[in-house]
Amino acid sequence: MANENFPLIFERSKEGRSSYNLPALDVPEVKLEEELDDIYIRKTDAELPEVDELELMRHYNGLSERNFGVQTGFYPLGSCTMKYNPVINEDVIRLPGFSHIHPYQDTKTVQGALELMFDLQVHLEEITGMHEITLQPAAGSQGEWTAIMMIKAFHEANGDYHRDEIIVPDSAHGTNPASAAVAGFKTVEVKSNEKGLVDVEDLKRLVNENTAALMLTNPNTLGLFETEILEMSEIVHSVGGKMYYDGANLNAIMGYTRPGDMGFDAVHLNLHKTFTGPHGGGGPGSGPIGVSEELAPYLPKPVVRKNDGVYELDYDRPQSIGMVKGYYGNFGINVRAYTYIRTMGAEGLKKVSEYAVLNANYMMRSLEKEYELPFTQHCKHEFVLSGSKQKKLGVRTMDIAKRLLDLKFHPPTVYFPLIVEEALMIEPTETESKETLDTFIDAMLQIADEAKTNPEIVQEAPHNTAVNRLDEAGAARKPILRYQKEG
């Protein structure tokens, strides 16, 4: 593979080959050309590849070999919670009773699916301490937007049309301000203090009668617990605003505390993070939201109900914000999350958080001598280092990331959160062993050493990947977004 391009499936194509095998036409043939207006009949066939089945399998297997997954190696990508994806989940979702059911079947014929959804909701209510859950949003960001739309509906129902501001910390995920904007709000940024926590004095100054909500991650994106959370809740509530919890970091606190106990009115979860839905190279995910009793009337339709032991879909919700996702959400991901929760139970989930936090602190303390650690208190499930020391030697954080590729690791999240210079955000997760953590620590220390003694080897990394560093600027300047047959 050294200097050759890996072919596109189109380039493996040869006229006359095929790998399809469709049922035969067993009904009398109708001349479609006579029935359809000629203008609606396609004149040139879509140029899809023509390959035989073996060639197709070789192609995709070849591609998979050029991809890094959690079962390939350590994937300490901060904020993404790349924990092990249990294989039982994959078996369960493939049961025909889960994978081959139609959303519009009569509810009497899908009682098992509705039971699972209902049960998952009950479990998530308990884990978050919220009054009611909907499984409808397809991803965390859709969950954020859904919850903000509900908060909007709540304020409007009270005649508070003037509440048009959402407060977001400067360390927040980019989705928070984006979701607020798509819901029609402007965002106001609250600063972090020297400890990496929300500056409560700044928050006091920012809240007013236009405050619709504060969006907060806790632990925050620096991996730190917001210790003044109750004060913050009180400040926001005192002006009539709502508290919104971004659940991306829930993996750190299960069984120790709950958003509902901290005064949050709405919360979204990323089932694919905390509850082991595989990330699929960028989805599908699932982003259920939980809300307080006060916000429950605004939940999207339909809601799963249980009446006399029978499960139903309730569409009769006059105050609902409407539907936010086709059908009932990403059911397939929800089945996986349910399977995981049933595997772990209360004791197991608490251990998950315990070990996620232990692993993160162990790594943080093992690396703080060689890498700048901007916030020194104990962290939760992730922590942020700065590559500022290495930058002075001419080695950037991106170089460190690329050098890790040579050492067979997926790099941490880089350049986020935005408030830390040359940020390296590391999240080991609870499913990694001490041996794995130690090898990664050694690799990081080796790179720190190389930055001092042999910076070129870091600056020019990676040295042994399928492709070298790619020209991203060129890709953006002259975009090639699809295959074009030559000649």
Token pair belonging to 188: 């106001």
Our CB check for other proteins shows the closer of 176 and 386 to be 176
| Among the listed residues 372, 399, 430, 450, the single contact to other proteins using CB under 8 A | 430
Our CB check for other proteins shows the closer of 173 and 241 to be 173
Q: Which of residues 241-270 bind other proteins (CB under 8 A)?
A: 253-258, 261-262
Q: CA nearest 277: which of 340, 328, 331, 333?
A: 333
Considering the rule CB under 8 A, would residue 384 count as an interface residue with other proteins?
no
| Spatial contact of 168 and 188, defined as CB atoms under 8 Å apart | yes
Q: Which of residues 42-71 bind other proteins (CB under 8 A)?
A: 42-43, 45-51, 53, 56-57, 59-71
Considering the rule CB under 8 A, would residue 316 count as an interface residue with other proteins?
no
Q: Which of residues 436-455 bind other proteins (CB under 8 A)?
A: none
**Binding-residue pattern over the window 145 to 184 for other proteins, x denoting contact by CB under 8 A:** x---x--xx--------------x----xxx-xxxxxxxx
Q: CA nearest 260: which of 133, 172, 131, 120?
A: 131
Burial class (CB in 10 A: 0-12, 13-18, 19+), 467: exposed
Q: How far is the CB of 93 from other proteins (least distance, A)?
A: 8
Q: How far is the CB of 366 from other proteins (least distance, A)?
A: 6
Considering the rule CB under 8 A, would residue 28 count as an interface residue with other proteins?
yes
Considering the rule CB under 8 A, would residue 318 count as an interface residue with other proteins?
no
Total interface residues for other proteins by CB under 8 A: 207
| Among the listed residues 198, 212, 401, 451, the single contact to other proteins using CB under 8 A | 401
d(CA 340, CA 39): 52
Q: Which of residues 125-144 bind other proteins (CB under 8 A)?
A: 126-127, 129, 138-142, 144
Q: Which of residues 95-114 bind other proteins (CB under 8 A)?
A: 95-106, 109-113
| Among the listed residues 348, 373, 389, 457, the single contact to other proteins using CB under 8 A | 348
Helix (H), strand (E), coil (C) string for 194-213: CCCCECHHHHHHHCCCCEEE
Could you tell me which stretch among 207-215, 238-246, 335-343, 449-457 binds other proteins (CB under 8 A)?
A: 335-343
| Spatial contact of 220 and 197, defined as CB atoms under 8 Å apart | yes
d(CA 297, CA 289): 13
| Spatial contact of 241 and 163, defined as CB atoms under 8 Å apart | yes
| Among the listed residues 190, 229, 243, 400, the single contact to other proteins using CB under 8 A | 229
Question: Strands 289-291 and 266-269: what pairing?
Answer: antiparallel
Our CB check for other proteins shows the closer of 241 and 412 to be 412
Q: Which of residues 458-477 bind other proteins (CB under 8 A)?
A: 462, 465-472, 474-476
Token pair belonging to 244: 């919104």
d(CA 211, CA 208): 6
Considering the rule CB under 8 A, would residue 29 count as an interface residue with other proteins?
yes
| Among the listed residues 194, 326, 392, 453, the single contact to other proteins using CB under 8 A | 326
Our CB check for other proteins shows the closer of 87 and 453 to be 87
| Spatial contact of 311 and 106, defined as CB atoms under 8 Å apart | no
Q: How far is the CB of 302 from other proteins (least distance, A)?
A: 11
Q: CA nearest 217: which of 463, 409, 382?
A: 382
Our CB check for other proteins shows the closer of 359 and 386 to be 359
What secondary structure letter does DSSP report for 372? B
Q: CA nearest 215: which of 190, 184, 251?
A: 190
| Among the listed residues 155, 268, 402, 403, the single contact to other proteins using CB under 8 A | 402
- Determine the residue type at 115: E
Considering the rule CB under 8 A, would residue 80 count as an interface residue with other proteins?
yes
d(CA 451, CA 399): 10
Our CB check for other proteins shows the closer of 322 and 394 to be 322
Considering the rule CB under 8 A, would residue 208 count as an interface residue with other proteins?
no
| Among the listed residues 325, 395, 425, 450, the single contact to other proteins using CB under 8 A | 325
User: How far is residue 86 from each of residues 70, 119, 274, 278, 482, measured CA to CA in Å?
Assistant: 11, 20, 13, 9, 35
| Spatial contact of 251 and 84, defined as CB atoms under 8 Å apart | no
